[in-house]
Chains A and B, each alone.
Chain A
Amino acid sequence: MKRLPLIALLIVISSACTSSPRLTYLVAPEEKPVQELNIDIEDLEDKYGDYDGVYLEKEFTAEHAGVKDDVGKSFLGIGNKWTFSIVKRDRYVILNPEADWLTTIRLNAKPDNLFLQVIAPDGTVNNYTIADFKKEKDDYGYDDYAFVIPGVVKGTYVDFGFDYSYNVPIYSPPLEHERFLQYSIPCHKTSFSFLYPEWWNIEVKATSSGVVPHSKTILDVENKKKSLVIVKTDVPAIESEPFSPFYKEMADYVKLRIVNMEMKGVALDELTSWEQHTERFKKFALKHSDKKDRLVKEAFNQIMVGALTRRDSAMSVLRFVRDSIDANGKSKQGKAYKTLKDRAGSPYDATGLAQTLLRYGNFDAKVILVHSAADGYFDPNFFSGSQMYTLALAVFFPDDTLIALPYVRDVPLDYIPKRYQGQVALIIPDKESAFRSFITPQGSLLDNTRDEAFELNIGANGQIAVTETKTFRGDFAYHWREILRLSKKESLEKTLEDILEYQEGDVSLSDYEILNGEDDSKPLIIKLHYTIDNLITVTPEEAIFNTGGFLSPLSESQSELEKAERNNPIRIYFDREYNKTISVTFPDQWRILTPLDTISFENSIGSAQRDFTVVGSNLKINQRLNLRQVSLPAESYPDLQQLIGASSALDLKRIVFDIQPADAQEME
C-alpha cells in the first residue's frame, strides 16, 4: 500500500510527458508461393556468377524512442523509458554454397524477434526460429547465437531478419551511427532508416568534399518522430585492388550523429567545435605541474647529454619515451612525473610525457590528434570524435615538422604511416598555445627513395660476380630495420638471398655488409656480394644474358597488376622514387648485340627514364622510376601498368653479346 502514492505520481508525470513511441518492429515475410518471389536463378548467375551471392534487398532501421521529460525532471528518471532498437532484414540468393559468410549466421546477442526463411531452388521452404540457433559463449562470457543453414545449394534464397532493442543506459547512449551502403557482393536495393524524436537534431557526415549522402526526412507529427531515409538501388560490389584508396574513401556509407537531444531527463553535451573536442583530451594527456615535474626536468637534462642538434635532442627525447615507457599501462591522467616514475602509463601519458620533456628544452612541441585517411573524408563540420582520435606528438622546427607516435614501440620516430600523411591535425591546447589545426606533412620524396646500385662482372664461362648496394630511406628503411632486428645472423643470409633482384639463376651469397642498421637517422645501406650461375648461355658465337628481372621496374608489384580490368580509383599517397645504377663488365671478346634504346616517358602517374653508356667492355645503365602522389580514376590504370606492370618498357629481359674469336680481336 505504501507504493501507491509513488505510482500515482509517476502516472501524473507520464501523462504530462512528450513521447515519441517506437514505431518499427520486425515484420515476418508473408507466406506466398515461391513463384511470386520472381527469382530467376539462371539470370542471377549470368549476371553475378563471379560473386558468392547477390543481395536482393538489405534493410536496416535504427530507432530511438522514449519520453522527453519536459515538465521538469522526473523522479530519478523512473517511469520514462528511452529505448534504442534496430530492425534488420537481408534477402539474398546464394551463388556459392561454399561461402561460409552467407551460409552461416552468428549473432552476438539474443534478438527480440527473428525469422529465417530458406527456400531451395526446387521450391522447398524451411522456416527457422531462434530456437534452432545454438547458444555458445564468446571469449568474454557473453552468449552468442549461431546457425548453419542446412541444405544450401546454388540458388538457395535466404530471407533473414531480426529486431533487437534495449533500454539506453544514460552513461553511454548511442549517439552516433554508421552504416555501409555498399558491399562485397552486388545489391539490388539497400535502405537505411534512422528514426528519432522530432525534438532532436541530427547531422549527416559528408563522404567527400561537399557531398552528403542523398536522403529524405519525413516528419510523423502524431508520433513526434522524424525519419531519415536513404535508399540506393543497383549497388555494385566493391573489390580489393592494389593502389586503391582506403575502403571508406571508395565505398558508399552513411554516418550521422545526434547533435541536439533531450530524453529521460538527460540532455546531450554535444560537441560543437573541434576546440571543445581537444579540450576533452587534454585532461588525459597534459597535467603539467612545475613543482612535481622536477623529476621530468632532471630526466630531460640526462637525455640531452651528447645530443648535437635541436633535431637530435628532440629525437633523443622521443626515443627515450618510446623505448622506456610501457604505454599499455594504467592511466596516469596526464601526470608526467608519475608516468616517468612508474615507466608506464597510457598512450596519452606517454605522449604527454614526451611533450613535457620537450618543454624543458623550449621546443615547440604539441600533443595533437590526427585524422586517418582510412576513416574516409574529413568533414570539418561534423564534430565527432570518431573522425579525430589518433594521438601523436608534433614538434615544429623552423623548416620542418616532425610527427611522432612515441607510444608505439616498433615504429621509427619520424615514420608517418600513409593514412596520417597530408591529413588534418588538431593541436591540443596547453598553457603556452591555443587550439589550432594544421595539415600533416606528406612523406617527403627524400624519405621515400630507394637506390640500388649493381656492379656485375661476367666471367668468360658465364658466371656473374655481383656487388649489389641497396640504400633504403623512410618507409623502406623502417621495414628493413624491422627484419634486421628480428633476424638471427644465420637466418638473415637467407632473408637477404630472398630479396636479390634475380628471379632466375642460382644465386650464392658470399658476403654482406649492413651500414646504419641501428641508426635510424641515416639511410640504411645493405651491400651484398654474390655469384650467379646458370643465368648466361654461352655459345661459341654468342652469349645470352637473361637479366632475370633485375632490370624490371618494381618487381614486387607486377603480378598484382596483371589483371586487365580495373574498378577502383588509383591512389598513391606519397611520391616515391626508385633508382637503379647498373655497371656490367663483360669479357673483352664480347660485344653487345641487343639494341639498347634510351627510354624516357611520363604519364599521369609518374615517369620513367633509362639510359645506357658503353665504354669498352663496360655497360652502364641508369634507370629512374618516379611514382607521384596521385588520386586518379580507374581509367588511368594503363598508365600504372605502363610504369610498373609486367609489360613496362623498362623491363629489359635479356642482353645478347656477340663473341668474337680471339684472333679476330687481335686483328682489330
Chain B
Amino acid sequence: MRLLAKVWDFRYSLLANSWSLLNILVSISAMPLALTYNKTLSMDVYYSKVKVLTVILRCSLLLLVLLSSQTLAAEKSDPDFAFTKTYHYKIKKRKSHYVLSSKVQESRILISERAKYSSNFYVYEGSASKVDHLSARLNGKKLKKGRVGFHYQRPKDIFFAQDKVHSISFPTTIKIGDSLSYKFERKFSDIAYLPIIRVPNIDYIKRFEVIYEHPKEFQVDFEFFFPRDEIPYRILREEKRTSLIFDSIPGELPLPYYNYNDILAAALVTVKVGGVSVTPTSVNEFVNWYSKLASLQPQLQDSDKTILADELNQVSSVTEKLTLIHDYVRKNIRYIGIEDSAHTIVPHEPATVLEKQYGDCKDRACLVSAIASEHGIPVQMALVSSSWYLPFEGEHVSHYNHMICYYEAGDSSVYFDPTARRWAFETIPESIIGAHTLILDPKTPSSGSLFSYNKSISLEIDLEAHIDSLENSSGTATLSNSYLSLALYSRAELTASEARRKILNGIGSSLRGVKIDSLIFLDKSESSMMVAFRADLSSFVIKTQRRAYLPSAPFVVVDNEALAREDDSLPLMFESLEGVTLSLTLTTPGMEIKADSLILGENSDTTSSALVDYQYTSSIRMIDSSNVRAEYSFTRSKKIFSGAEKSHFLKFCKDYLGEKKNMYPLNWINK
C-alpha cells in the first residue's frame, strides 16, 4: 500500500500544479491579482516557474512508477522509444593547461503510447561545467523559446549554489513516431572534470557514441565497468580522434538489492600525453591536483588558536582530544553549504567557518583538521563516496560526494564524521560504512574503504507481560546507531508528539504483532538512549482455548524480494545493517513451556562469539515456575553478498521466513 499512497500524493501534487498553471494563465489575461509584496514578477516568469515545477513533478511520478516497481520474473515488453546520444568532446592544449568542451546531442523516437508521457528532459549544469546553446527540436522543427528554460537547484541546506537545471518541455500532444531531440554545448573549467561515461539502462539504445577530438600526440584510454554482462562496444582510433560506440543495446530489468540498475556500462576515461596522464587518475595524481585547489594541511589563524585550547589541555590522550574536537564541530557548526563557484569542492577557510559557525561537510572536516593540527594531532581530510562507488582502478572527482576525517598513529586509525551531528566519536553513520575513501594525506595519500566501530546491535527491546493482560504490557528499548540517530533527530527537529510517534514507529515496525505507545525517555548517553513504552502483545502472544503460542520469528527484517535474486549471478547489496534483539518475560501462572532454541545463519553449528555477517537466534525457557523468558536476536551486516556467500545468505533468508509459521506452544499444566 505504501507505493500506492506515494503515487496518490504525487498525483495530487500534479493536479494541484495543473490548477496553478491554469490560474496563472487566467491571471495573465483577465484580472488584477493580489500582488506579491516583495517583487512584481512578470506573470510570464511566474508561469515558467510553475511549469518547471509541474514538469519536475510529472517526471518524478514517472520515475516513481517505473523505477520503484522492480520486476521479478516477467518478460520484457517492447521498447517505448529508440534512444540515440552523442557526446563530442574537444580537447585542446594551451600553453600551460588543457581546454575541454563538448557538444551533446540526444534524440528519441517514440515507439509506444507510454513514451508520450516522457515529454520533459533535464540537463544539469554544475559550476565546473557550464551549459550553453541548449535547443530542442520536435520532428526537426525547433521548439519555441518558452519550452526551454532553467532553474537554480537550491537544496534546503545548500544556501548559495550555482548549480542549474535546464529543462526542455515538449508539447503534451507528442505522438508515436515523433522524434524528440535536444542539443547543447558544455565548457569545462578543468580537464579533470572530463566525465566518466555512463551508458544508461534505459528502454533501448539505438546508438550511444562518445567522440574525443584531440591533438595527435594525445592517447585516450578507457577503463570499463559492466554491472551486468559485458555489452558490445567499438573503439575507433584515428590520428586526432578517438571514438567509443555502443550500438543496439536493449535495456535490462532493474533488480532489487542491486545498486547499479541505472547503467549498463561505465568507462573511466584517461587522457595521456607521452605516457603521462593529464587527467588526474592515480591516487597521487588526484591528490596532487586537489592540493592545488585546497590546502590539505589547513591551519587556524592566530586569533582562533585559543579555540578549545583550555579543554584540550585538560585531557591527555589523543582519543580524548579528538573526541572534544569532533564534538565541538558536530554540535556547534550548523550544516549549511555555501557552494559558490569556488567552494563546490573546496572547503572554506577555518577562520570563516568559525566566524559564521556554519559550514558543510568539507568545511567541518577542514576545521577539525586545523584545530587538531594546532594541538599536534595530524588529522587528514578524507573524501568519501557515500553512494555506491563505481569500482574503477582510477580516481575521478565525481566519485566523491562527502568529506570526513581520518587519523592514523602506528597501528591504530580512526575515521570520524564531524558532519554527522548525532554520531559520537568512533561511531560512523550507517550510510557510509564500507564506502570508498580517499585519504588526502599530502605525503602518503591512500584509498580504502570505511570501516566501522559501531555496535552490531542497534535496537535492544525488553518486554514484560502477563498472559492474562497482554494488552497492558510494558517494555523498554535501548537505541544505538541509526535508531539513536533517528531518536536524536526526532527530539531535536520534530514536535514532541511527532518525535514520540516517529520513535515508536521505528521500534514497532521491527516487530510483528506488537503495538506500542505512550513513549517516555529514560536515559541517554553519547552512544545510546533508553526509552520506555506501553505495549499491547495481544497479537504477539496468541491465546486459544487450548494453549498459548509465542512466535518463533518475531522480527520484520527479511522480505522475500531478496529471494527473487536466487537465479542471477549478480551480488546482493544491502545499504543498511540490521541488529535487533528482543527479550520477553512472560508471566504465565499455570502454564509451562518446553525449553527450545534455534540458530540460523552463520556459526549456526558453533559456539563462536565472533561477529557474524548474518545470524538469527531464538530461545525459550521457564525461568521459574510461572515465568517464561523468550529471547530473539537478528543481525545482518551492511554487506555485498556474492557467489557462494549469496547462496548461503538466501538460504538463511528462506529459513527465517519459513520460521514465521512456527510457534512455541505454552500448555496448561493441569489441563
Contact surface of A with B, Cβ cutoff 8 Å: 49-51, 62, 84, 86, 96-100, 103-104, 107-109, 134, 136, 138-140, 142, 146, 148, 150-153, 164, 166, 169, 172-178, 239, 255, 277, 280-281, 284, 324-326, 328-329, 331, 343-344, 346-348, 372, 385-386, 389-391, 405, 407-411, 417, 462, 479, 482-483, 485-495, 498-499, 504-507, 533-539, 541-542, 544, 546, 555-556, 559, 562-565, 593, 646, 653-654, 656, 658
Indicate whether B293 reaches chain A with its CB closer than 8 angstroms: no
* Bound CA–CA A663/B23 (angstroms): 75
A-B CB contact pairs (8 Å), 7 listed: A138-B152, A172-B33, A328-B21, A410-B18, A483-B7, A486-B66, A559-B505
A103 touches B173 (CB 8 A): no
Distance between B513 CB and nearest chain A CB, rounded to angstroms: 8
* Bound CA–CA A142/B45 (angstroms): 11
Give B16-40 as 1s and 0s: 1 = Cβ < 8 Å from A's Cβ atoms.
Answer: 0011011101110111111101111
Indicate whether B669 reaches chain A with its CB closer than 8 angstroms: no
B661 touches A408 (CB 8 A): no
Within 8 A of A (CB), among B334-381: 334-336, 338, 355-358
* Bound CA–CA A259/B133 (angstroms): 48
B356 touches A150 (CB 8 A): yes
Please pick, from B1, B27, B157, the residue contacting A555 in the complex, using a CB distance under 8 A.
B1
Name the 8 nearest CB pairs between A and B, nearest first: A385-B31, A174-B35, A50-B495, A491-B69, A490-B71, A490-B74, A176-B34, A534-B660
Interface-lining segment among B277-285, B300-308, B540-548: B540-548
B356 touches A100 (CB 8 A): no
Chain B residue numbers with a CB within 8 Å of A556 are 1, 4-5
* Bound CA–CA A483/B335 (angstroms): 38
A150 touches B355 (CB 8 A): yes
Nearest-CB residue, chain A, relative to B10: A482
Indicate whether B569 reaches chain A with its CB closer than 8 angstroms: no
* Bound CA–CA A654/B661 (angstroms): 13
B18 touches A411 (CB 8 A): yes
Indicate whether B70 reaches chain A with its CB closer than 8 angstroms: yes
Please pick, from B27, B62, B156, B421, the residue contacting A100 in the complex, using a CB distance under 8 A.
B156
Interface size counted on chain B using CB atoms at 8 A: 104
Indicate whether B151 reaches chain A with its CB closer than 8 angstroms: yes
Known: A134-B160, A488-B66. Contact between A284 and B29, CB under 8 A?
yes
* Bound CA–CA A542/B661 (angstroms): 12
Please pick, from B35, B77, B495, B538, the residue contacting A51 in the complex, using a CB distance under 8 A.
B495
* Bound CA–CA A54/B72 (angstroms): 51
Give B72-99 as 1s and 0s: 1 = Cβ < 8 Å from A's Cβ atoms.
Answer: 1111110010000000000000000000
Please pick, from B23, B51, B663, the residue contacting A389 in the complex, using a CB distance under 8 A.
B23
Within 8 A of A (CB), among B35-68: 35, 37-41, 45, 48-49, 51-52, 61-62, 65-66
Residue of A62, A176, A494 with most chain B CB atoms under a 10 A cut-off? A494
Indicate whether B391 reaches chain A with its CB closer than 8 angstroms: no
* Bound CA–CA A15/B1 (angstroms): 73
A482 touches B7 (CB 8 A): yes
Known: A493-B72, A506-B657. Contact between A164 and B172, CB under 8 A?
no
Distance between B153 CB and nearest chain A CB, rounded to angstroms: 10
Contact surface of B with A, Cβ cutoff 8 Å: 1-5, 7-8, 11, 14-15, 18-19, 21-23, 25-27, 29-35, 37-41, 45, 48-49, 51-52, 61-62, 65-66, 69-77, 80, 113-114, 117, 149-152, 156-157, 159-160, 171-173, 253, 332, 334-336, 338, 355-358, 421, 492-498, 501, 504-505, 512-513, 515, 517, 538-539, 542, 544-547, 549, 560, 657-658, 660-663, 665
Chain A residue numbers with a CB within 8 Å of B66 are 486-488, 491
Nearest-CB residue, chain B, relative to A562: B501
Known: A490-B75, A490-B77. Contact between A136 and B497, CB under 8 A?
no
B157 touches A100 (CB 8 A): yes
Please pick, from A104, A343, A348, A498, the residue contacting B3 in the complex, using a CB distance under 8 A.
A498
A104 touches B19 (CB 8 A): no
B41 touches A140 (CB 8 A): yes
Known: A488-B114, A489-B74. Contact between A177 and B34, CB under 8 A?
yes
A410 touches B14 (CB 8 A): yes
Known: A486-B114, A654-B539. Contact between A542 and B65, CB under 8 A?
no
Chain A residue numbers with a CB within 8 Å of B74 are 489-490, 493
Given contacts A50-B495, A386-B34, A539-B549, 6 further A-B contacts (CB under 8 A): A148-B358, A348-B25, A405-B18, A488-B80, A498-B4, A559-B505
Known: A326-B172, A499-B3, A646-B515. Contact between A151 and B37, CB under 8 A?
no
A656 touches B544 (CB 8 A): yes
* Bound CA–CA A50/B491 (angstroms): 9
Chain A residue numbers with a CB within 8 Å of B65 are 483, 486-487, 491, 495
B69 touches A325 (CB 8 A): no
* Bound CA–CA A614/B1 (angstroms): 30
* Bound CA–CA A255/B538 (angstroms): 53
* Bound CA–CA A142/B69 (angstroms): 41
B497 touches A565 (CB 8 A): yes
* Bound CA–CA A534/B253 (angstroms): 28
A178 touches B542 (CB 8 A): no
Distance between A26 CB and nearest chain B CB, rounded to angstroms: 14
Residue of A277, A390, A492, A506 with most chain B CB atoms under a 10 A cut-off? A506
Chain A residue numbers with a CB within 8 Å of B114 are 485-486, 488
A407 touches B173 (CB 8 A): no
* Bound CA–CA A346/B28 (angstroms): 11
Distance between A476 CB and nearest chain B CB, rounded to angstroms: 10
Please pick, from B1, B21, B493, B665, the residue contacting A499 in the complex, using a CB distance under 8 A.
B1
Chain A residue numbers with a CB within 8 Å of B14 are 410
B25 touches A347 (CB 8 A): yes
Chain B residue numbers with a CB within 8 Å of A538 are 661
Known: A98-B334, A498-B2, A646-B515. Contact between A537 and B662, CB under 8 A?
yes
Please pick, from B336, B504, B513, the residue contacting A148 in the complex, using a CB distance under 8 A.
B336
Chain B residue numbers with a CB within 8 Å of A410 are 14, 18
Known: A411-B15, A535-B661, A537-B663. Contact between A347 and B4, CB under 8 A?
no
* Bound CA–CA A49/B544 (angstroms): 46
Chain B residue numbers with a CB within 8 Å of A329 are 171
Please pick, from B61, B75, B657, the residue contacting A486 in the complex, using a CB distance under 8 A.
B61
Nearest-CB residue, chain B, relative to A331: B29
* Bound CA–CA A488/B113 (angstroms): 11
Nearest-CB residue, chain B, relative to A109: B39
